[in-house]
Structure 1
Amino acid sequence: MGCEPPQHVAARVLEHSILRHASIPVAVHRLDECVARHRLPVSGRTMFSLQRFFIPEINGFKGLAVYIDSDMLVFDDVRDLIAHRAPGVAVSSAETPPGSGRKRQFSVMVIDCELARWKPQEIHQKAQSNYRDVMYELSFEPSKTVSLPYTWNSLERYEAGKTQLLHYTDMNLQPWVDARNPLLPVWMDALFAALDDGFVTMDEVAESTRRGWLRPGVLWQAKHREREVSRLPLHLKIAEAFYRAPHKPRYWARKVEQVRHGGAKLVGALNGGRVPRT
């Protein structure tokens, strides 16, 4: 699971949703913790963007692995996901939802670790110069196919009884950081189930709220088992209006850097190709 510390509760809720539907033994590993244990360098546009490319190495280039992001929920048996992989292919990814207009994503993958002989450091180097080709095309891997149904990576779409994996792709509207998400009640139900089973504790929710990793109203909703934000006390509605998700400072810092870099390239072009130091 691609993850970072601020996603702790979201990741635990996702893990619980995987395990409660699984008919086979499943071990869920957070890649931020795996990468840290292996002392492997990792960077990216999000803290976990490039973690996925360490999976074959971490697994000793043996067996199968499923990669998922932490901003998801699972509603079906992962055995079905593995059954849809293409044998003899390094990477099996999911179709895009019909009519969505979305580009193909590699946020859900079944990876044959023996065939995916990835060298993470080399991939990271490529990502520095051509991030989109690496992340959205998996250009370094020729052995890949789209064999997983879109219901295993349903982007911002939930159909009860049909959606197998719901993916909250809009970071600014993920339900644990913004109450305006129309699929907020679906995530709250999953949180309540994890709390009821003791898989997530109220202390974890309280600590993540204190750190600013969760929007202020989540703790109150968890305590009162309230899936609708319209019933939040006034002081929490005000607090939510001023809340800023932990990823936003990084997002705006990146935008500023992109503007600076673009401006430097423009000045360089006007200067006969000499890019000024920034």
Structure 2
Amino acid sequence: MNSEAIKIFVGCDPNNCDLEQMMVLDYSVRKHTQHPVEIIWMQLSHDPESPWYTNQATGEGWHTEKWATPFSGFRWAIPESCNFQGRAIYMDADVVVLCDIAELWAHPKAEDAIVIAKGGKNSARLCTCVWDCEKAKQYLPALKDIQANPDGHKKLMQLLKDKPELVQPYQDSYNNIDGEGLAAEQIKILHYSDMGTQFSHKYSLPRLEASGQKHWFDGKIMPHPRQDLTELFDQYYNEALAAGYRPENYKVEPFGDFSKATQINYHGNKVTRPEDEKSWFTRSIDSLKSKLKKKSFSLDD
């Protein structure tokens, strides 16, 4: 590997809801690597020159109304933002890196693949992935066209469903979703993905409430089922503070209101909210639905 900086694009909220997540992610990346790293925080912007620009009043730039998060579609803009050159890592903000990020950066890739991600025959999760920016050029629409289409994110996920050879799978521990039955020491990158059980809520929610602000997630908040992973996040949070990192160092001028899909009926994932916690009736209905429909291709938001 040469001395080129590892580029990491991170999707995060534009109104300072995710400061604690940003701090822990930043610290965790740098704790485990000696390689130069450049982190690009992807946040909705009022600047027409920014790749994250949106004007919700005029309909210019990104259309976010169908997104589950404030940054769902941004991952598709990364190759063009890199001038279709080299590699780039994408991550959601709710991630703790527990290995040398250079391992993922240098992961082998099949000739046909445009992205290295958690995936397989029936799924693709791009919430932590590595783009081959040059390869992606022939498959991705121009940035302005992706921005203008409210269904752009969904359609590009459909592209991967139709052409699974475009995804080079890596081992699951590089995008471990809320534990997935692994011991903490077996996890390379922890994605605390369930938006209702995120470790950072106990820090961010009181901070936001004190300033009269609400978090962008409007669903039910509940404890994470893995106490060991909760303690691991707290460890990294406190280590970051001791090393001179501060949540306020990641603050930006708040963007203000933007459209986003509600998460009031959000049900998390099977890791944090297993089937046996559902009622018999709910499990029966889910089972019947599963039998009546074809095997679907699972995609992350």
Instruction: Work out the CA distance in 1 between the residues paired with 2:164 and 2:231.
Output: 40
Q: Which among 111, 122, 132 is matched to residue 145 of structure 2? A: 122
Match of 1:171, SS state, is coil
Counterpart in the other structure of 2:210: none
Counterpart in the other structure of 1:107: 127
1:23 deviation in Å?
2.7
Instruction: Work out the CA distance in 2 between the residues paired with 1:187 and 1:69.
Output: 16
Counterpart in the other structure of 2:37: 26
| Larger CA Rg, structure 1 vs 2 | 1
CA contact (8 A) 2:192 2:198 kept: yes
Deviation per CA, 1:50-95: give whole Å up to 9, x if none. 0111111111111110011101100000111122240543111124
Provide closer, same or farther for how the CA distance between residues 133 and 174 of structure 1 changes in structure 2, counting only shifts above 3 A: same
CA contact (8 A) 1:31 1:52 kept: no
1:7 deviation in Å?
1.1
CA contact (8 A) 1:168 1:174 kept: yes
CA contact (8 A) 1:85 1:147 kept: no
TM-score computed with the length of structure 2 as normaliser: 0.59
Q: Which among 245, 261, 266 is matched to residue 199 of structure 1? A: 245
Give the helix-richer structure, 1 or 2: 1
Deviation per CA, 1:79-136: give whole Å up to 9, x if none. 111222405431111247xxxxx943111111011111132343356652x7545347
Instruction: Work out the CA distance in 2 between the residues paired with 1:50 and 1:167.
Output: 18
Mapping of residues 217-256 of structure 1, within 5 Å: 250-252=262-264
Counterpart in the other structure of 1:2: 11
Provide closer, same or farther for how the CA distance between residues 145 and 131 of structure 1 changes in structure 2, counting only shifts above 3 A: closer
Higher relative contact order (CA 8 A, sep 6+): 2
Match of 2:38, SS state, is coil
Match of 1:15, SS state, is helix
Counterpart in the other structure of 2:168: 146
Do structure 1's residue 174 and structure 2's residue 220 form an aligned pair? Answer: no
Do structure 1's residue 185 and structure 2's residue 231 form an aligned pair? Answer: yes
1:47 deviation in Å?
1.0
Instruction: Work out the CA distance in 1 between the residues paired with 2:194 and 2:158.
Output: 16
Paired residues, number: 209
CA contact (8 A) 2:73 2:153 kept: no
Provide closer, same or farther for how the CA distance between residues 7 and 153 of structure 1 changes in structure 2, counting only shifts above 3 A: same
1:168 deviation in Å?
1.0
Match of 1:29, SS state, is strand
Provide closer, same or farther for how the CA distance between residues 34 and 124 of structure 1 changes in structure 2, counting only shifts above 3 A: closer
Match of 1:30, SS state, is strand
CA contact (8 A) 2:174 2:190 kept: yes
Provide closer, same or farther for how the CA distance between residues 126 and 142 of structure 1 changes in structure 2, counting only shifts above 3 A: farther
Provide closer, same or farther for how the CA distance between residues 35 and 189 of structure 1 changes in structure 2, counting only shifts above 3 A: farther
Q: Percent identity?
A: 23
Instruction: Work out the CA distance in 2 between the residues paired with 1:249 and 1:86.
Output: 34
1:28 deviation in Å?
0.8
Counterpart in the other structure of 2:25: 14
CA contact (8 A) 2:109 2:116 kept: yes
CA contact (8 A) 2:104 2:174 kept: yes
Provide closer, same or farther for how the CA distance between residues 253 and 179 of structure 1 changes in structure 2, counting only shifts above 3 A: closer
Provide closer, same or farther for how the CA distance between residues 142 and 103 of structure 1 changes in structure 2, counting only shifts above 3 A: closer
Instruction: Mark the runs of 5 or more structure 1 residues left unpaired by the alignment.
Output: 97-101, 212-246, 255-278
Instruction: Work out the CA distance in 2 between the residues paired with 1:48 and 1:180.
Output: 24
Mapping of residues 76-115 of structure 1, within 5 Å: 76-86=99-109, 88=111, 89-95=113-119, 103-115=123-135
